[in-house]
């Protein structure tokens, strides 16, 4: 598959998708977003890929957000059509495999929305994050107003969104915007360590667990518990459940079949 604005590489069971416009701090043009949507759909179907890491090319940015040039002259109707066709953030939501955001530098606006749509966020100690749309007279449009308060609480979300201030990695960790911060030189190693650990589990169980946990963001507790129970009931039928339990009782490593 050929792409102009992203790079897809494979490292064992982990696919690494790098936003690749380093001279523009990996700003997300429409083309880049469309290519990301395509890559995620392909990788979700690709059998050998068990986890997906999103990151930015170069040493400065994860992504500095949506390409601001493309806002110029855009009409309301054009914006509405873009939403009708589905967004990058919807595509991230649809991805069944675990997605890790490896935040290697600037992570602003739509870039923060992209990272927040992922499952796990690992940041370099050099990263700077912000919900910065207000600085150019707009508001978050990729789910930021909804995902940010779920991650950091209403007060922190409003503070970040209304001020447009940037925070460093330590502050992002403190408020729960990222899940782990590591020295820049260890970012890849630590991210792949987590990705490999997930990849060593039953792929079926991983997908069901991800679906159950993510449902908690959109369902009330009683409905979420029912959803969890239906997935738990389903997993009772899996060969991996039989194998996992047998391996535990026989004191050996399980050999997953992923079904
Ligand atoms: N969209 C389009 N281009 C962008 C961009 C964006 N979101 N962010 C950076 N760029 C481009 C710059 O225009 C510049 O291109 P040029 O060399 O052709 O002029 C290049 O990337 C480097 O950016 P520059 O501003 O020179 O780097 P810096 O290190 O001085 O500053 C930032 C970095 C991230 C602080 C600054 O670029 C910035 O504030 N960007 C916008 C961030 C933002 O608000 N994003 C949310 C958009 S909704």
Q: Does residue 1 carry a pLDDT above 90?
A: no
Q: Where in the chain is the domain with CATH 3.90.226.10?
A: 6-199
Q: Kindly report which listed range (40-44, 81-85, 112-116) carries the lowest average pLDDT score.
A: 81-85
Name the residue with tokens 């100690």: 125
254, HSE (Cβ side, Cα atoms, 13 Å):
18
Q: Is the CB of 158 under 6 A from ligand 1?
A: no
Q: Does residue 140 carry a pLDDT above 90?
A: yes
Structure tokens at 136: 């150019």
- Active-site residue set: 113, 133
Provide the terminal-to-terminal Cα distance of the chain, rounded to the nearest Å: 28
Q: Are 203 and 51 in contact (CB under 8 A)?
A: no
* pLDDT (mean) for 213-229: 97
Residue 91: band (very low, low, confident or very high) from pLDDT cuts 50, 70, 90: very high
Structure tokens at 185: 């030189």
Q: Does residue 120 carry a pLDDT above 90?
A: yes
* pLDDT (mean) for 167-171: 98
Q: What's the CA-to-centroid distance between 24 and ligand 1, angstroms?
A: 6
pLDDT in tens, 8-50: 999 999 999 999 999 999 999 999 999 999 999 999 999 999 9
Q: Is the CB of 175 under 6 A from ligand 1?
A: no
* pLDDT (mean) for 205-225: 97
Domain 6-199 has CATH 3.90.226.10: yes
pTM metric for this prediction: 0.97
Class of domain 203-249: mainly alpha
């Amino acid at each position: 598959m050929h792409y102009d604005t992203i790079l897809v590489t494979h490292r064992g069971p982990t696919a690494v998708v790098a936003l690749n416009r380093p001279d523009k701090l990996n700003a997300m043009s429409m083309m880049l977003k469309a290519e990301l949507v395509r890559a995620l759909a392909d990788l979700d179907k690709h059998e050998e890929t068990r986890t997906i890491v999103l990151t930015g090319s170069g040493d400065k940015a994860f992504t500095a957000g949506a390409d601001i040039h493309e806002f110029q002259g855009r009409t309301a109707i054009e914006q509405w059509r873009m939403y009708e066709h589905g967004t990058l953030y919807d595509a991230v939501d649809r991805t069944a495999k675990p997605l890790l955001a490896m935040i290697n530098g600037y992570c602003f606006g739509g870039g923060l929305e992209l990272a927040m749509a992922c499952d796990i966020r690992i940041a370099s100690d050099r990263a700077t994050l912000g919900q910065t749309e207000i600085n150019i007279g707009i508001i978050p449009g990729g789910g930021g107003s909804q995902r940010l308060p779920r991650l950091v609480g209403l007060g922190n979300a409003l503070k970040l969104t209304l001020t447009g201030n940037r925070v460093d990695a330590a502050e992002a960790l403190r408020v729960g915007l990222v899940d782990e911060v590591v020295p820049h030189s260890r970012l890849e190693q630590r991210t792949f360590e987590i990705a490999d650990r997930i990849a060593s589990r039953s792929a079926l169980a991983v997908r069901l667990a991800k679906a159950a946990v993510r449902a908690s963001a959109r369902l009330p507790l009683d409905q979420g518990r029912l959803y969890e129970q239906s997935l738990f009931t389903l997993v009772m039928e899996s060969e991996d459940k039989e194998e996992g339990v047998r391996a535990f009782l026989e004191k050996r490593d399980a050999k997953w079949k992923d079904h």
